[in-house]
A and B are shown apart, each in its own frame.
Chain A
Amino acid sequence: MSAKIKLVVIGNGPVGHNFLEYLVESGNSCQYQVTVFGEEPLPAYDRVHLTAWFKNQDVADINMVSEDFYPKNNFILHTGDKVINIDRTKKLVTSASGMKVHYDKIILATGSFPFVPPVHGHQRDNIFVYRTIEDLEKITAAAKTAKIGTVIGGGLLGLEAAKALMDLGLKTHVVEFAPRLMAVQVDDGGGAMLRKKIQDLGVSVHTQKNTQNISDGDTAVHKMSFADGEILETDIIVFSAGIRPRDELARQAELSMGERGGVIINNNCLTSNQDIYAIGEVALWNNKIFGLIAPGNAMAHAAVDHLTGTGTSEFTGADMSTKLKLMGVDVASIGDAHGNTPNSRSYTYVNDREEVYKKIVVSEDDKYLLGAVLIGDAAEYGSLLQFMLNKMELPSEPEGLILPRVDGSSSGIGIDALPDSAVLCSCMNVSKADVVETVQAGACDMAAIKSCTKAATGCGGCTALVTQVLNNELEKQGVEVNTDLCQHFSYTRQDLYNLVRIEKIKSFDELLEKHGSQSGTGLGCDICKPTAASILASCWNDHVLDEKLHSLQDTNDYYLGNMQKDGTYSIVPRIPGGEITPDGLIVLGEVAKKYNLYTKITGGQRVDLFGARSEQLPAIWRILVDAGFETGHAYGKSLRTVKSCVGSTWCRYGVQDSMGMSILLENRYKGLRSPHKLKMAVSGCTRECAEAQSKDVGIIATENGWNMYVGGNGGMKPRHGDLFAVDLSDVELIQYIDRFFMFYIRTADRLQRTSVWMDNMEGGLEYLKTVIIDDKLGLVNELEQEMSAVVGTYQCEWKTTIEDPIKMKRFEHFVNSKRHDDNVIFTTERQQIRPVLTAEKNTETITQ
């Protein structure tokens, strides 16, 4: 076996890491002995979303590296150790800790550093930059004793930093040298609108300010003096005045450099040395540094292709168009945003009421799009970008592309007109052809597209466009995008929910008669009946074994227990928050002993009793109900448990009473029926012992209240919940959960967990916030009332059932005999019962 090629990757930022991901994807990584050096103590994290770290100051939120990525691929990673020397003669790199590693090839991905202009006083304390988690930690610590924070630099990153300062509770200023914010990406008109919107949020913006001196302040830590004689007092200063390549190692290695820094690379990302590649913000291509993630990734791809010889992609420059949300404000810039192209024309739409600014720059003959600026509403970003990138001919009167539609028609692009090569997602470099292929291979929703292609998982700016391509392709394939619930109803679950709610439909028969698709011959089926039962329960909350409803229920709901593989049931009494008295435990133990039930503690902090035959259920529940237990709804598509840690009551770290909150929430939402099961958890501090981020709704205590997460999931496809709101009071928390659950119940598909529902939601988390928090749809009162109706009509289904002798009769196994099902046979294992295996069964049973 030939020796492996020794590859040293210097730098473990996003681009350096993505290089390794691509190397693995290329299938060639086993030919290389890979050593990675990273200067920071942590493995690669997503710098683009650095601000997300502030939400709960947890690196996991922006971590890019799965735990086993490096060991699984036999890559050696040295974090906290930077390379200080490259010896090209000996082909040896040396690190700060003295480690020496031989190389055949080097990938230089050292990134950049924030530029701090040599203003007098810039080395004072309480002055920071905004690039690493360490920077953020320092800013957070300093903010604790500060009142005012100022960012020098009103570019993209500067505004991100301003948001961070604001979130830390500081009165925030932005100081910009140019006459407008985001001077590179945005024109004057757009800059003015952006400024207005950002000032509305409480940030003071100072443009055309040249900071000349920083000295001791009179009322705050610093006094900033500007060239025009004005001053500004502030406690914290964050410099965000651009980036410079981290090229000192390249200089030392005597690679060819640009006049103003940066390592010169060719289209293959090779430097002047045949064995050294450079990628990302350290690399200079065609005399340009690219300070965005997408071009960095494209360079990483080109370097992998050239190094391994498995691909042909080259780096030939990058489109610097960008769309982002700054402090909740949509901002997008495409191509020639300033109209610098000779003879270009521009069209502008300004709406002062909605605070929206849109401009397009087109060619002299109106045929091609050259650039655009969108502030306040960037919905057209995706289609405008495609017009430009693919040089597609514009419709006549191109101004129509940015004018509001009065007739409700959709603006923009014909999906079919897009070439296959069109890059829909530039962050992940996903083309239209990639999406189409994935659909042809069987993907049929956004969640599948995201997981297969990673499209729309970066900045998310392309979500709407990718969705259009997906639907278009499904339609074309004749995969009729059939959203019918089943053959009995030509409606989605959401449609049926609305029909039931609006027409006050109370039974399945009524629903079938009014809206069924088989004109009088349909009976329903095992899809529509339980779905209708769930909807009727969410809306009217009648007992599931009500005369009109019982035949719609799945066997689990009908028997109010969980059917196991042998046809017996398991029983889960509700134990809110997992809190139970010794007497309660004794009752459970006694019942289990009396009926010889297999007993297990569940993951949701309660007790599951297995092996009850249907005819035993009423007697068992009689004992449980008498002892004060209620049904746990483990059998229903409904709220399961609210898991909890003991919180501030017992734990030395707890900052809120998570026990009390979890019990309150479990008692509030118990019995709520929904499209799928619902799980919740409450953690008493940021250590998160209740694992709340893996729940549909997770709550984590903070010093100031509660942080709320939504859309988490464990199971087959784990998903961390998204941070939805921070520092909520008890009242706000319950309000938001009420609204969230009801909105989910109203709009989700059948058996769609909140995680998948979130993944498929157009506009995603931000949209959800506008609905639940900002009340964009004017719904929140309705949602709260609907929840309040459900909460107010709660009954323990088992208590009601055992009080009704007619209902009790149904639990007998035989309609005409008191005998038991003799195919239910147990044996003993670890001192408890278990069902016998088929092979262990006596074949002479009366069944077969």
Chain B
Amino acid sequence: MTTNMTNKQWVAICNIDDILPNMGRCALFNNKQVAIFRVLDSAGGESFYAIDNYCPFSHANTLSRGITGNIDGKTVISSPLYKQHFDLLTGICLEDKNVKVNTYPVRLDGHAVLMSEATINVS
């Protein structure tokens, strides 16, 4: 898997404590609703993911309110209304590979959660 990303400005979104471990929060970023997730692994490591908050199945802004987990090795979020799973790394829906939500670069800098205006393409 290769990730191409044009490097642009990182913008501070919130403090790390604003997103509880293994939960998601919705952020307003570039006038768009984005769901940011903070996922802890069993070794104590921590990863951040950002995808569209808009659920293409329910047509509502709900993905940040789903349950995080892993299915077949992929870190996923489950849609709270109809329970489809989205791969947090690629945005692809596990139940219907033709459905994909956008993913966004997100990282931690000290206590600040940062997002970038770049779009990522994972191939």
Contact = CB atoms under 8 A, between A and B. Distances in A.
Contacts of A838: 59
A848 B54 contact: yes
A2 interface: no
B69 A563 contact: no
B13 interface: yes
A513 B26 CA distance: 30
A520 B85 CA distance: 22
B13 A526 contact: no
Select the residue from A512, A526, A529 with max chain B CB neighbours within 10 A. A526
Interface string A805-848: 00001100111110101011000000000000010000000111
Interface in A520-539: 520-526, 528-530
23 contacts: A520-B42, A523-B39, A523-B42, A524-B70, A526-B67, A526-B78, A526-B83, A529-B67, A550-B23, A554-B67, A554-B80, A555-B67, A567-B81, A810-B20, A815-B14, A815-B25, A815-B27, A816-B27, A816-B28, A821-B33, A838-B59, A846-B31, A847-B32
A558 interface: yes
B66 A526 contact: yes
A525 B67 contact: yes
Interface of A: 487-488, 512-513, 520-526, 528-530, 550-555, 558-559, 563, 565-567, 614, 809-810, 813-817, 819, 821, 823-824, 838, 846-848
A823 B61 contact: yes
Which 6 pairs between the two chains have the least Cβ-Cβ distance? A525-B69, A526-B78, A567-B60, A555-B80, A551-B22, A526-B67
Interface of B: 13-14, 18-23, 25-29, 31-33, 36, 39, 41-43, 53-54, 58-62, 65-73, 75-76, 78, 80-81, 83, 85
A816 B64 CA distance: 14
Nearest to B21: A551
Nearest to A550: B20
Contacts of B42: 512-513, 520-523
Given A520-B43, A551-B20, 8 more contacts: A521-B73, A523-B41, A523-B42, A526-B69, A565-B81, A819-B28, A823-B60, A846-B33
Grouping DSSP codes into helix (H, G, I), strand (E, B) and loop, the A interface class, with mixed when no group exceeds half, is loop
B26 A814 contact: yes
B23 A487 contact: no
Nearest to A813: B26
Nearest to B115: A816
A797 B9 CA distance: 42
A73 B22 CA distance: 58
Given A526-B83, A554-B67, A815 B18 contact: yes
B65 A821 contact: no
Contact of A522 (B59, B61, B70): B70
Given A551-B21, A563-B80, A567-B60, A816 B13 contact: yes
Contact of A814 (B20, B27, B54, B73): B27
A565 B60 contact: yes
Contact of B70 (A513, A523, A559): A523
A127 B53 CA distance: 77
Contacts of A810: 20
A99 B41 CA distance: 81
Contacts of A521: 41-42, 70, 73
Contacts of B72: 487
Contact of A815 (B13, B66, B73): B13
B14 to A, nearest CB: 5
B47 to A, nearest CB: 10
A823 B28 contact: no
A212 B54 CA distance: 87
Given A814-B27, A815-B19, A816-B27, A551 B68 contact: yes
Contacts of B33: 814, 821, 823, 846-847
A834 to B, nearest CB: 14
B21 A821 contact: no
A523 B68 contact: yes
A824 B60 CA distance: 8
Nearest to B12: A816
A545 to B, nearest CB: 10
B61 A563 contact: no
Contact of B58 (A526, A565, A809, A815): A565
A144 to B, nearest CB: 57
Contacts of A819: 28
A567 B61 contact: yes
B28 A563 contact: no
A294 to B, nearest CB: 45
A823 B75 CA distance: 27
B54 A847 contact: yes
Contacts of A813: 26
A813 B34 CA distance: 11
Interface centre among A566, A567, A810, A846 (most CB of B within 10 A): A567
A563 B61 CA distance: 11
Nearest to B23: A551
Contacts of A488: 69
A525 B65 contact: no
B84 to A, nearest CB: 10
Contacts of A809: 18
Contacts of A520: 42-43
B65 A524 contact: no
Contacts of B85: 526
Contacts of B80: 554-555, 563
A847 B58 CA distance: 13
Given A815-B26, A846-B32, A566 B65 contact: no
A816 B32 CA distance: 12
Nearest to B77: A526
Given A523-B70, A525-B70, A815-B26, A823 B36 contact: no
A520 B62 CA distance: 30
A287 B29 CA distance: 89
Contacts of B61: 567, 821, 823-824, 847
Most buried by A among B58, B71, B76: B71
Contacts of B75: 523
Contacts of B13: 815-816
Contacts of A522: 42, 70
A525 to B, nearest CB: 3
Nearest to B25: A815
B14 A816 contact: yes
Nearest to B59: A838
A521 to B, nearest CB: 7
Contacts of B28: 814, 816-817, 819
A838 B18 CA distance: 32
A838 B68 CA distance: 28
A526 to B, nearest CB: 4
Contact of A530 (B31, B67, B81): B67
A552 B68 CA distance: 9
A488, A523, A528, A554 — which one has the most chain B CB atoms within 10 A of its CB?
Answer: A523
Nearest to A814: B28
Contacts of B73: 521
B89 to A, nearest CB: 13
A567 B71 contact: no
Given A815-B18, A847-B54, A563 B25 contact: no
A88 B115 CA distance: 93
Nearest to A509: B42
Nearest to A519: B42
Contacts of B39: 523
